[in-house]
Amino acid sequence: MSLQVLDSFYEGKAKTLFNTSDPTLIVQYFKDDATAFNRQKFGQIAGKGVVNLAITKALYKLLESKGVKTHLVDTLDERRMVSRRVEIVPLEVVVRNRVAGTFAKRYAVPEGTVLPAPIVEFFLKKDELGDPLITAEAAIAIGLATPQETQDLDRLARQVNEILKAFFLALNIELIDFKLEFGKLPDGTLLLADEISPDSCRFWEVGTGKKLDKDRFRQDLGGIEDAYAEMLRRVQSAT
């Protein structure tokens, strides 16, 4: 691919985005920087960028094979992904299979409680406000998405959940919850964007309940690099 990488146009918490010689494509550089609790906690997880890109690529290929469209085009090397340029929908879409994180806190429900059916939640992507929970109705009312888009986001998130839950269970990992971001092409097509990795998912080992995700960083559990490497090993054993 004779793509030239040009200037950076966005510095995110975990990734830096670059323009390229093709205006329809961007390059995402996956960093080792880690943040939590709306940047109140920050640090580095050695090798995280490499793990997150490899896992995201494997999962996006799996999802594409099942008919879920993603922004993935290719990789340039182990830290750089070429992806379609999209307009990011300003909603984070969270799917939960078991109670954890902010859901446990918000409703005072014990972590690990199994939910009778998956729950989909929307959060407004706005750091200044701390990414508050938002209803589909409010998101529509303030012009963040159309009614059709909120329905599509909900449906796609549930479809991704079913595919990933089954994939990870075969690796002896329970998918507890995860966050998705979506982007729109100029014609309005919704694509899965950003990443799916131990940064954006909760993974518990079946049987032991061992956490193999960013909660090891959030909760200072230690063994962070090993947990990320273990998730990569399992994903690569299946793809």
**Residue ranges in contact with ligand UDP by CB under 6 A:** 92, 94, 100-103, 131, 177-179, 200-202, 214
Residue partners of 14: CB distance under 8 A and separation at least 6:
30, 31, 33, 34, 35, 48, 49, 52, 195, 199
Query: C-beta of 102: minimal distance to ligand UDP in Å?
Result: 4
Nearer to ligand UDP, 40 or 65 (CB): 40
* Residue with Cβ nearer ligand UDP (25 or 193): 193
DSSP state of 113: P
Residue among 25 and 201 whose Cβ is closer to ligand UDP: 201
Q: Given the complex with ligand UDP, which of 107 and 208 has the nearer CB atom? A: 107
DSSP run (H or E) holding 156: helix 147-169
Neighbours of 239 (CB within 10 A): 13
Pick 92 or 149: Cβ nearer ligand UDP: 92
Q: What's the CA gap between 118 and 166, in Å, rounded? A: 14
Residue type, 133: L
| Least Å from the CB of residue 131 to ligand UDP | 6
Please report how close the Cβ of residue 19 comes to ligand UDP at its closest, in angstroms.
25
Nearest residue to 6 via CA among 14, 235, 16, 126: 16
Measured at CB, which residue is nearest to ligand UDP? 101
Sequence-distant (≥ 6) Cβ neighbours of residue 104 within 8 angstroms: 110, 111, 113
The nearest distance, CB 208 to ligand UDP, in angstroms, is: 19
Q: Least distance to ligand UDP from the beta carbon of 224, Å? A: 14
